[in-house]
Structure 1
Amino acid sequence: MRLIRKLALAGALGLASPLAGLITAPALAQTDAGEWAPETFMLDNGMEVLVLPDHRAPVVTHMVWYRVGAADEEPGKSGIAHLFEHLMFKATDDIPAGEFSKIVARNGGQDNAFTSYDYTAYFQRVAKDRLETMMRMEADRMTDLLLTDDEVLPERDVVKEERRQRIENNPGAILSEMMMAELFKGHPYAIPVIGFMDEVAALDRQDALDFYQQWYGPENAVLVVAGDITAAELKPLAEEIYGSIAPKGNLATRATPEVPELEETLELTHSDPKVRQEAWSRYWQIPSYSMANVGLEPHALDLAAQILGGGRTSRLYQALVEDQKIAVNAYAASSTSLRSGGAFAIGVSPARGVELDTLDDAATDVLNTFLEEGPTEDELERAKSNLVASAIFQRDSQMAMAQVYGSARARGDSLESVAAWPDEIESVTADQVRETLAKYIAGKNYITTKLLREEG
């Protein structure tokens, strides 16, 4: 099961900054994990369907995932994936502009959508007897979206304003964007999901039409329904509603470029009067779960992040906040959920009067000690237990489980890899944690960021 977490420095890996590790409780794997095992089938047009039965309440979560995200955009068209997510709520042949979410609400439901580097997803949570309505609405906008200048251009302005508010007026987000541009230099992950302002401003109706034609077809989509339903119940509906959509047959081919190795160690600084809390962070390149031939390395890196900076009992927090009292917060995080690569980060916020260089030295000492000695068995078991507890909470949420399996298939990960995860996380040893972290951090280039308060 993928456990969705977030970087402490919000925005560093896109609009939502998800950090994911595929983890669950080993004991549950032998007992009730089957309760969440998806039932699957394929429609004749190539649309994949996953059903996650959960009969605790007469409610369902309905999601459609498209295997396209910001990393699939053409050069010079940054932000089109995110803009198109907005446009999917505009008019179709049957639904007037702005009415989609209102119809969901009138049916007692909630809906939203999100764009990442590797996928775009749309969802509704409704009573079971309203599922068919949601499916028909979602199928309608898959095929009959009306894209006119009157729809596209005003929504483009909405996205521009969103970028101003979320990025350009947010010093931490500006620095995160600077960091991503260097950490993933030469790769689409270097480009923000929301896009660059000048490129977003140049997007037009034809760009939207092209994107729709290239990526939005049933053969590039995954339907996930979690809740009070079985595959036997859903299949006739799915075949009637989604199965009647003809495959486009000419969708774009998805590339998976490798992330170029970081060529030099860099320090990036951003100063702004709006900064309330200064911060120091450091980032390294690491592999992700979706990459081939990485074995248990992402698992070990997730555990290393938990031990180093996953809470108040972590090494960084204990050393810098509790013992030395030079910081008010300290964290470590591993981003292992992207298709082509990932990031390992440590970060610290200084106590009043403490220089960031002092934090750099102290955090580096903690990290170097860990690289030399590795975790204790108690630390490793506690890290596993903490991750397991978070995963158990996820299992209690229809939406979380739909995201776990939907994101996996949208990235191209197998369902078998999801099922195998409990045993794999349990098998990671202390030596593997130390050796894997050393492989990707010791002697490697990195990016240091400093967020400073500008006086005046």
Structure 2
Amino acid sequence: MPLSPLARLARWTAALTFLSATLATASDDLVTDFTLDNGMQVVVIEDHRAPVVVHMVWYKAGSADETPGVSGVAHFLEHLLFKATDTLDSGELSKTVAENGGTDNAFTSFDYTAYFQRVAADRLGLMMSMESDRMRNLRLTEDDILTERQVIIEERNQRTENSPQALFNEQANAAQYLNHRYGVPIIGWRHEMEELSLQDALAYYEQFYAPNNAILVVAGDVTPDEVRTLAKQYYEPIPPNPDLQPRDRPAEPRQTAERRLSYEDPRVAQPYVTRSYLAPERDTGDQKTAAALVMLSEVLGGGQTGYLNEQLVFDQKKALYTSAYYRGQSLDDTTFGLYIVPAEGVSLDEAEAALDDVLAQFLKDGVDAAKLDRIKMQIRAGQVYERDNVQSLARRYGSGLTQGLTIKDIQEWPDLLQAVTEDDILVAARDLFDRNRAVTGHLTGPARPTDASAPADADAAPQPAAEEVSQ
């Protein structure tokens, strides 16, 4: 028997209340942090449901911290850390993790580089012994450089050179950031990657790979006392880098004119239009605008019921696919982006004009309160379900802390999202949508889809890469 509207509302309210209570009790009590004598911050996230632990070391250094001229060295060094140390042979760390039933990997972003292992909880000491060893005892040879340099160049070939979408995104990102290092691809410019040397890798390693520039995050079936004992044994003896400098990066100049680019590639089967705006990031103690922008991206581009899809795909039938994204978690100014893939017979110029018209109409129509409530519930549910994965929890804290947030900021974030109002979203949108502060791009090719009724794949308009994964 179908539920009455009143019964559906009651069920919706009960579900939201349950999810809110679950998250409130789960997010505050199980995180402990302390600092070792050498300046290394340690964060412990307890989850005793399974005898598993995730051990992560996050360095507050990524590709945006590189010296100009050696782009890609942060990601290059990430690969090289799997080579030999004073006590381990090349590849021995990963082999040991696998022999103990675990998995390991690493990844590099603009703002951080992180290394992790997921193993049985009783293997935590072994992981710390190996990870602390390669923090300061890496032993590289010229052969390592030649071999691994070819690996990262091939990685760029596969992920970037062979993808017109990736090449387009790379150029659009460079147009977005004229002065800041976010305009340089994480993997590096190819001509600079080809020249990366042993000295380049060691200089980055000596500068940034130190305990006072690192955060240890341990999540899973552990206690703070257990982690403290092991961390003091393995990490605390490592001396800090006394010459470590503050992360003082070049700022973007004020943008006063729209930037445009057109990228044509014969491999492109589906043209599309992108628009990106420089946007504020989540700052410690000041995350309200970022929360509003998260909700704006969901209201506009959140799946089939997003405002852009409703207007451009279903009502006007001028698009096959639309989306919006916002990367709020960033050390410096980030971006808010829009995509539109035009329908058959609609030019890129027409699609762009339709997008502008719909954005202007959105500012007049405002935000549908019922849809906003549904989005909030979906976000709340996702945050609750995320707690089933200790690695996701560890990543949430590790990435946030390396990007300038505090534990308090991270734990307050879910409630800030729930507190966003329709007016907050419209204020953020009006401040954001200024063509004179935007980068608009057209990706074109000779071919067009033959079946206009076929749904566009979301991968037709990929977002710029946020991380480069090692293995």
Assess same fold via TM > 0.5: yes
Letter in 2 for 1:425: L
- Return the alpha-carbon distance in structure 2 between the equivalents of residues 389 and 162 of structure 1: 36
- Residue 28 of structure 2 corresponds to residue 34 of structure 1: yes
Name the aligned partner's letter for residue 120 of structure 1.
T
The answer to whether structure 1 residue 345 and structure 2 residue 337 are counterparts is yes
Q: Is 1:312 the equivalent of 2:304?
A: yes
Instruction: Please report how far the alpha carbon of residue 273 of structure 1 lies from its aligned counterpart in structure 2 after TM superposition.
Output: 2.0
Matched, 1:176 2:173: no
Question: Residue 323 of structure 2 corresponds to which residue in structure 1?
Answer: 331
Matched, 1:125 2:137: no
Q: How does 1:143-292 map to 2 (within 5 A)?
A: 143-290=136-283
Give the match for residue 43 of structure 1: 36
Residue 122 of structure 1 aligns to a residue in which SS? strand
Secondary structure of 1:375's aligned partner: coil
Higher alpha-carbon deviation: 368-377 or 74-83: 368-377
Quote the Cα distance in structure 1 between the aligned partners of 2:21 and 2:442: 42
1:379-428: CA deviations, max 9, x gaps?
22122122222222222211110000011111121111112223322222
Please name the residue that 1:16 is paired with: none
- Post-superposition Cα deviations, 1:338-370, rounded to whole Å, max 9, x if no partner, equal 111111111112233332222212222221111
CA distance in 2, matches of 1:238, 1:291: 27
**Which residue, 426, 451, 454 being the options, matches 2:443?**
451
Going from structure 1 to structure 2, the CA distance change for 1:66 and 1:270 (only over 3 Å counts) comes to same
Displacement of 1:143 in angstroms is 1.4
Compute the displacement of 1:26 (Å).
Answer: 4.2
Give the distance between the partners of 1:254 and 1:435, measured in 2 at CA.
31
Q: 1-side partners of 2:199 and 2:344: how far apart? A: 52
Amino acid at match of 1:440: L
Aligned to 2:52, which of 48, 54, 59? 59
Query: In structure 2, what is the equivalent of residue 110 of structure 1?
Result: 103
CA distance in 2, matches of 1:361, 1:397: 43
Match of 1:398 in 2: 390
Distance 1:443 1:320 in 2: 20
Contact residue 262 and residue 445 of structure 1 kept, 8 A = yes
Aligned partners of 1:414 and 1:33: how far apart in 2?
14
On the 8 A contact 1:54/1:228 being kept in 2, the answer is yes
- Find the aligned partners of 2:367 and 2:210 in 1 and give their Cα distance: 48
* 1:448–1:211 CA distance, 2 compared to 1 (3 A): same
Q: Displacement, 1:147?
A: 1.6
- Secondary structure at 1:129 match in 2: helix
1:33-69 CA distance string (max 9 Å, x none): 335x411111111111000011111000110000000
Deviations 1:306-358 (A, max 9, x none): 00011111111112222223322111111211111111111112233332222
- Partner SS, residue 441 of structure 2: strand
Q: Give the % identical residues.
A: 42
| 3-state secondary structure, aligned to 1:159 | helix
Q: What residue number does 1:10 align with? A: none
Separation of aligned partners in 1, 2:171 and 2:156: 15
Distance in 2 between residues matched to 1:63 and 1:146, nearest whole Å: 21
- State whether residues 256 and 339 of structure 1, in contact with CA within 8 Å, keep that contact through their aligned partners in structure 2: no
Return the offset for 1:257. Answer: 3.5
Q: Does 1:297 align with 2:289?
A: yes
Distance in 1, Cα, partners of 2:291 & 2:362:
17
Asked whether the 8 Å contact 1:92–1:141 carries over to 2, the reply is yes
Counterpart-to-counterpart distance in 2, 1:25 and 1:262: 42
Paired residue secondary structure (1:312): helix
Q: What amino acid is the match of 1:296? A: K
Using the TM superposition, name which of 328-337 and 76-85 deviates more. 328-337
Distance (Å, rounded) in 2 between the aligned partners of 1:443 and 1:347 = 15
Q: Distance in 2 between matches of 1:359 and 1:197?
A: 33
Aligned mates of 2:376, 2:251 — CA distance in 1 = 30
Aligned mates of 1:93, 1:84 — CA distance in 2: 17
Partner-residue secondary structure (3-state), 1:51: strand
Q: 1:53-96 CA deviation, whole Å, 9 max, x = no partner?
A: 11111000110000000111011111110100001011111111
Compare CA radii of gyration and give the structure with the larger one: 2
> Which segment is superposed worse, 347-356 or 203-212?
347-356
Say if 1:222 and 1:406, in contact at 8 Å, map to a contact too. Answer: yes
Among residues 50, 72, 75, which one is paired with 2:65 in the alignment? 72
CA distance in 2, matches of 1:179, 1:342: 14
2:437 aligned counterpart, secondary structure: coil
SS of equivalent residue, structure 1 residue 202: coil
User: In the TM superposition, what is the alpha-carbon distance from 1:376 to its structure 2 partner?
Assistant: 2.2
Q: Are 2:367 and 1:378 aligned?
A: no
What is the DSSP-based 3-state SS (H/G/I as helix, E as strand, rest coil) of the residue aligned with 2:262? strand
**Hey, what's the Cα distance between the residues in 2 that align with 1:364 and 1:291?**
33
Q: Is 1:373–1:434's contact at 8 Å kept on the other side of the alignment?
A: no
Aligned-partner residue type, residue 319 of structure 2: A
Three-state SS of the structure 2 residue aligned to 1:31 is helix
One of 59, 78, 85 as aligned partner of 1:85: 78
1:191-227 deviation digits (Å, cap 9, x = unpaired): 1111111111111011111111100011111000000
Shift of 1:443: 5.3
Gaps of 5+ in 2: 1-17, 449-471
User: Offset at 1:241?
Assistant: 0.7
Q: 2:423 aligns with which of 397, 419, 431?
A: 431
Tell me what 2:379 maps to: 387
Letter in 2 for 1:359: A
Tell me what 2:360 maps to. Answer: 368
Aligned partner of 2:363: which letter?
A: L
TM-score, normalised with respect to structure 1: 0.90
